[in-house]
Every structure is written in structure tokens, then in C-alpha cells.
Amino acid sequence: MDVQISRESGVPIRLQVGRQIALLIAAGKLKPGESLPSTRALAKRLKIHCNTVSQAYQDLAAYHLVERHRGSRMVVPFPGKRFSANARMDLDDVINAAIQLAQDQGYTLRQLRQRVQERLLAQPPDHLLVVSNETGLPELVRAELEQEVACPVVTCSMSDLSANPALAIGALVVGPPGDIQTIAPLLPKDRPPYPVTFNTADEHVARVRKLKEPSAIAVVSVSELFLQTARGLLAPLLGRRHTLREYFFPSEKPGNLNAFSIVFCDSVTRHSVKARNLVHYQLLSPESLAHLAHAVRPQ
């Protein structure tokens, strides 16, 4: 395909490429059913950016001079064949079309970026974002949520969210109660974070109370906060009668724990621990899990 460009011309390179290809099609030098070169190949030959070629191709598609065959390159359509408005465009094409339309209407890229981010932040959430600086806690919360919710669950630290507020786009942000006041200023005012609540673990406490003989109890978790919570719940029951051993996984790999009367494991470590008396200790309360299971629409 013979396309030449001039960098000294006052005509934008994108228009030079598009108009020359349109002329080749009109002259019959590009025939129906013939594919255009890939954006990468043509950009490399002309020594221009791939986005410039992609935008030129999008202009041609807008005038139905070419059409994108799903999974293939741009193709010259056969006479009488209209480009289907329902044909699927890939995401890059959608973005390129939006950028070009905004520029044609006189908006700057900065204005477009700001408004797009505002609109995206206002959209109903389609996933959960777990935010916390506690080591291991986001991983643990995600593991428990993924068992209950029908949407993606991702994690980040508060510093990550502060540096990149766009991480909250499309997300219902959740975090431990102690972090909510720090997380809230990082989010739009109309989209406050949801504070998850922790399980009271009444049945686990009752299990310890039932121990008749002096016993050794173990708690294994990837989260220091989880270990602190378990320690606080079990401390009044231990006294001098029982002993408590904590394992911060994976830096402390407990090995075989069959000697312990009870081994409490979180939702991450329970699949990695060998113990005769293993008990799953779920951190999040049933109320939090039920609320979040219905708060986000599935993708």
C-alpha cells in the first residue's frame, strides 16, 4: 500500500494517512476484501506513532470506507455492504473514537481526562477494593470476600490509593474500621468507604471454655491484626491454665500441629496447616459478608 507522508506539511499526519488510503480505495487500488496493514506495521514503515495510524483507520471506519473484522485487521468492505452499527469495536477503537470526537468539538485532552475520571468515579461499582496498610490483612479479607461475592475483589494499600485515586474507579472501597477515617478523604464524598466488621467468634470462645484439661492452643494467620484480635478474644480464657502459641504465616511455618488441642487458622492458612484439631476462624462478620454480597452488581 503506497502511502507517503510529509512532516513539513501543515496537514496533520493522521489526515495525510487517512486521505491517501481513502483515495487508494476510491481508485480501486485497494480492493474489496483486502486488508489494510496492521497499525504497527504501517507505523513502523512510515516512522510514526501507532496511535496516529490507529486514529487514521478509525476515521476511515467512521465513513464506512473500511470495517474491522473481529480478531482481524481493517478490511475494505464489498460494494453495498454497510458497516453494522452493532459490530463490536475493540476497546482501543472506542477510546480513539472518544478522543477524536472530543478534540473535534474543541475539548482538550486534559478536559477529557478530568471529565472521564469524574464520570467513571460516579458509576455504580462493579468490584470491591480492599484498602489497608496492615500486612496480610488485604489478602485475608479478599480470600473471605471471594467466597461470598459474585464480583472481582482487588487490594491496595492506602499509600497506593493516595498516589493514584483512579484505583477507586468502579469500586466499592472496603477497609477495617480503624482505617476508614484515613481512607474516606481519598474518595469522592458521595462514595464513602464501607467499614467491614469482624466476627465475634462466640463459638470459638465457647470451644476453648469446654477444654477440661490444661491445653495448648495455636493461632495461625497471615495477618498481624488477625493475631491481635484472636489474642484479645482468647486472653481472658487462658490464665495460667492454657498456653497460646501464635504463628505469623508464612515467615513462621508451623509444620505439624497435631499436639495442640485447638488450632485456629484464618481463611488463607487453613489450607496450608496440618493439624488434627484445626478450626476455621473467619475474620469478617456474617453481616459484612451478606451486605457486600448484595452491594455490587456482578460484571
Total domain count, the chain: 3
- 60/35 same-domain check: yes
C-alpha torsion 218→221→225→227, nearest 10: 0
Question: 96-99 long-range CB contacts below 8 Å, 24 or more apart?
Answer: 96/51, 96/54, 96/55, 96/58, 97/58, 97/62, 99/55
- With respect to residue 7, please indicate whether it lies within any of the assigned structural domains: no
- With respect to residue 112, please indicate whether it lies within any of the assigned structural domains: no
* pLDDT tens digits, 205-251: 999 999 989 999 999 999 998 999 888 888 888 878 899 999 999 99
- With respect to residue 134, please indicate whether it lies within any of the assigned structural domains: yes
- 172/207 same-domain check: no
Q: Which residues contact 169 (CB under 8 A, 6 or more apart)?
A: 117, 120, 121, 123
Nearest to 210 by CA among 266, 278, 246, 262: 262
What's the pLDDT at 67? 87
With a cut of 50, say whether residue 52 has pLDDT above it.
yes
pLDDT over 70 percentage in the chain: 94
With a cut of 70, say whether residue 191 has pLDDT above it.
yes
* pLDDT tens digits, 67-102: 887 666 889 887 655 444 445 556 776 787 778 778
- With respect to residue 8, please indicate whether it lies within any of the assigned structural domains: no
- With respect to residue 114, please indicate whether it lies within any of the assigned structural domains: no
- 228/173 same-domain check: no
- 142/209 same-domain check: no
- 97/37 same-domain check: yes
Average pLDDT over the chain, rounded to an integer: 87
Q: Which domain holds residue 241?
A: 202-283
Residue 67 CA to residue 199 CA, distance in Å, equals: 56
Give the domain-ending residue among 74, 107, 140: 107
* pLDDT tens digits, 20-46: 998 888 778 888 889 999 999 999 999
- 98/28 same-domain check: yes
CATH of the domain at 62: 1.10.10.10
* pLDDT tens digits, 135-158: 999 999 999 999 999 899 999 999
Give Cα 242 distance to the centre of its chain.
44
- 279/207 same-domain check: yes
Polymer length of the chain: 299
- With respect to residue 178, please indicate whether it lies within any of the assigned structural domains: yes
- With respect to residue 1, please indicate whether it lies within any of the assigned structural domains: no
- 43/90 same-domain check: yes
- With respect to residue 115, please indicate whether it lies within any of the assigned structural domains: no
- 31/103 same-domain check: yes
Give the domain-ending residue among 107, 131, 151: 107
